């Protein structure tokens, strides 16, 4: 029996077969939502950032399984938490992650965490200190609800694609950067890249300039997964050739890593690439390709309404799937 990780912090250390088992269970849960098989169990949902889909789908999913979900917002209804380990807590936080994670572990059977990067220094943010600290001190499984990756979103996307494609192996998956007025988290881009590579797609990363290439941790992992599957990873700045023959177009905006903390310097580059919007003309170059986005999405900025409202867009299915895959994940980790 292969080793299944205790936490779900990232899919990098989960095998394709183990992830597929979760997807298969999610598909079964879609048909039979109310199992009640985790009756009496509890999960803490710790949100450092806002959410619509993640909070709703985790709370409702826990209810379907017979569990109780408790939402905690540190600094807003729950005490602010200290993560530094220098021993002197003379700032704003009232308690340390060493107490928070261990106390919650006495109450609940899993802890899920959303903690976005601070967007000041990528070398600090890429250490993912908040969720790594929860995982270090908790004695129950820890689930990533989006930090510098968004692994629950990966599962939801893959379930939506598997439901519409005969196979994902050697199909063309294009992850395209899109314009957004603000520099956003690279989490979903990192996640889209690695999950597509893990599930056998030929992956194209389309972005305006080399500044928008993702962190080497995810680029290298995607390259390795593609190699393992006999597929290829391509980096492109050319919109037309990237869209040509695509089976899937996945859109996301993100901030350029070399400009972390210097966003005013990035703005002119970002503003010069508004034409990366996903529109009907670009989708017409694809192989009748599917479109998706993790949401929330700005219509007419990242993608046209025509694309979002077309029958080839699976973004609502992907959002629905968050419910099913997270239930399957809780069953896997808690039972
Ligand atoms: N996609 C996603 O995680 O949505 P929320 O930010 O609304 O949770």
228/106 same-domain check: no
Report CA(54)–ligand 1 centroid distance (Å).
Answer: 5
Average pLDDT estimate for 4-30: 96
- 211 CA distance to ligand 1 centroid (A)? 26
Q: Is residue 29 part of a domain?
A: yes
- Of 45, 48, 53, best ligand 1 pocket probe by most atoms within 8 Å of the beta carbon: 53
Question: Confidence class of residue 310 from pLDDT cuts 50, 70 and 90?
Answer: very high
Q: What is the mean pLDDT of residues 174-179?
A: 98
- Helix (H) / strand (E) element for 329: namely helix 315-334
Secondary structure class of 114 (helix, strand, coil): strand
Verify that 145 and 157 share a domain, yes or no. Answer: no
Q: Are residues 26 and 172 in the same domain?
A: no
Given the CA of residue 55, which atom of ligand 1 is nearest to it? 8
- Ligand 1 center to residue 291 CA distance, Å? 18
Does residue 1 lie in a domain region? no
What is the C-alpha to C-alpha distance for residues 21 and 169, in angstroms, rounded to an integer?
17
Is the same domain home to 188 and 175?
Answer: yes
Whose Cα sits closest to atom 7 in ligand 1? 52
For residue 272, being part of any structural domain is answered with yes
Per the CB < 8 A criterion, the answer to whether 206 and 236 are in contact is: yes
pLDDT confidence tier of residue 173, bands split at 50, 70 and 90: very high
Residue 13, both tokens: 């250390």
Ligand 1 binding site (Cβ under 6 Å of any ligand atom): 51-54, 146, 153, 294-295
Contact present, 71 and 47 (Cβ < 8 Å): yes
Please tell me the distance between residue 147's alpha carbon and the centre of ligand 1 in angstroms: 12
Domain assignment of residue 133, yes or no: yes
Output the residue whose Cα is nearest ligand 1's atom 4: 53
Residues 168/201, Cβ–Cβ less than 8 Å: yes
Q: What separation in Å is there between the alpha carbon of 323 and the centre of ligand 1?
A: 12
Q: Is residue 3 part of a domain?
A: no
Residue 5 lies in a domain: no
Same domain, 79 and 140: yes
The percentage of the chain sitting over the pLDDT mark of 90, rounded to a whole number, equals: 97
Burial category of 217 from C-beta neighbours within 10 Å (exposed 0-12, middle 13-18, buried 19 and up):
middle
Which H or E element spans position 53? helix 53-64
Rounded CA separation 242/174 (Å): 7
Q: What is the pLDDT of residues 67-112, one digit of tens each?
A: 999 999 999 999 999 999 988 999 999 999 999 999 999 999 999 9
Residue 56 Cα to ligand 1 middle (Å): 9
Q: Which tokens go with 7?
A: 């936490």
Domain tally for the chain? 2
Q: Are residues 110 and 186 in the same domain?
A: no
Query: pLDDT band at 4, cuts 50/70/90?
Result: confident
Residues near 268 by beta carbon (within 8 Å), at least 6 away in sequence: none
Q: Are residues 305 and 326 in the same domain?
A: no
In a domain, 233, yes or no: yes
Query: Nearest 5°: phi and psi at 205?
Result: -100, 110
Is 217 found in the same domain as 177? Answer: yes
Same domain, 164 and 302: yes
Checking phi first, is residue 314 left (phi over 0); if not, alpha (psi -120 to 50) or beta? alpha
Print the domain residue range for 310: 153-318
Helices 187-198 and 151-164: angle between axes, nearest 10 degrees? 50
Residues 254, 127 share a domain: no
pLDDT score at 2: 56
Secondary structure (3-state) at 249: strand
- Does a structural domain hold residue 116? yes
For atom 6 of ligand 1, the residue with the nearest CA is: 51
Q: Mean pLDDT over all residues of the chain?
A: 97
For residue 50, the CA-to-ligand 1 centroid distance in Å is 8
Residues 51 and 136 both lie in one domain: yes
Pocket test for ligand 1, best of 295, 319, 323, 326 (most atoms within 8 A of CB): 295
Residue identifier of the C-alpha nearest atom 3 of ligand 1: 54
| CA 47 and chain centroid, separation | 15
The answer on pLDDT for 1 being more than 80 is no
Ligand 1 site-directed mutation target among 151, 322, 325, 326, most atoms within 8 Å of CB: 322
CATH number of the domain encompassing residue 54: 3.40.50.1370
Whether residue 3 is predicted with pLDDT greater than 80 in this model: the reply is no
- 171/310 same-domain check: yes
Q: What is the value of pTM for the model shown?
A: 0.97
């Amino acid at each position: 029996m292969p080793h299944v990780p205790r936490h779900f912090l990232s899919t990098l250390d989960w095998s394709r077969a183990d992830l597929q088992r979760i997807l298969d269970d999610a598909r079964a849960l879609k048909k039979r939502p109310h199992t009640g098989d985790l009756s009496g169990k509890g999960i803490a949902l710790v949100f450092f950032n806002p959410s619509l889909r993640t909070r709703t789908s985790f709370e409702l999913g826990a209810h379907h399984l017979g569990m109780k979900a408790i939402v905690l917002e540190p600094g807003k209804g729950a005490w602010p938490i200290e993560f530094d380990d220098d021993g002197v807590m003379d700032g704003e936080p009232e308690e340390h992650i060493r107490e928070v994670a261990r106390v919650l572990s006495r109450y609940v059977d899993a802890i899920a965490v959303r903690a976005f990067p601070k967007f000041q220094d990528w070398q600090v943010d890429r250490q993912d200190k908040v969720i790594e600290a929860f995982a270090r001190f908790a004695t129950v499984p820890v689930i990533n609800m989006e930090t510098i990756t968004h692994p629950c979103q990966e599962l939801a996307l893959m379930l939506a694609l598997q439901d519409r494609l005969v196979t994902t192996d050697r199909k063309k998956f294009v992850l395209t950067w899109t314009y957004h007025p603000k520099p956003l988290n690279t989490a979903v881009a990192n996640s889209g890249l690695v999950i597509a590579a893990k599930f056998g797609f030929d992956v194209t990363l389309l972005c305006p300039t080399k500044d928008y290439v993702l962190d080497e941790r995810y680029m290298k992992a995607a390259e390795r997964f593609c190699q393992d599957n006999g597929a290829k990873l391509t980096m492109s700045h050319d919109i037309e050739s990237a869209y040509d023959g695509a089976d899937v177009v996945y859109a996301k905006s993100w901030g350029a890593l070399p400009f972390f903390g210097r966003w005013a310097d990035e703005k002119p580059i970002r503003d010069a690439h508004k034409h990366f919007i996903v529109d009907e003309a670009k989708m017409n170059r694809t192989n009748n390709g599917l479109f998706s986005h993790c949401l929330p999405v700005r219509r007419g900025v990242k993608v046209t309404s025509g694309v979002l409202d077309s029958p080839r867009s699976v973004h609502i299915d992907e959002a629905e799937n968050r419910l099913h895959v997270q239930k399957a994940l809780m069953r896997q980790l808690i039972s």
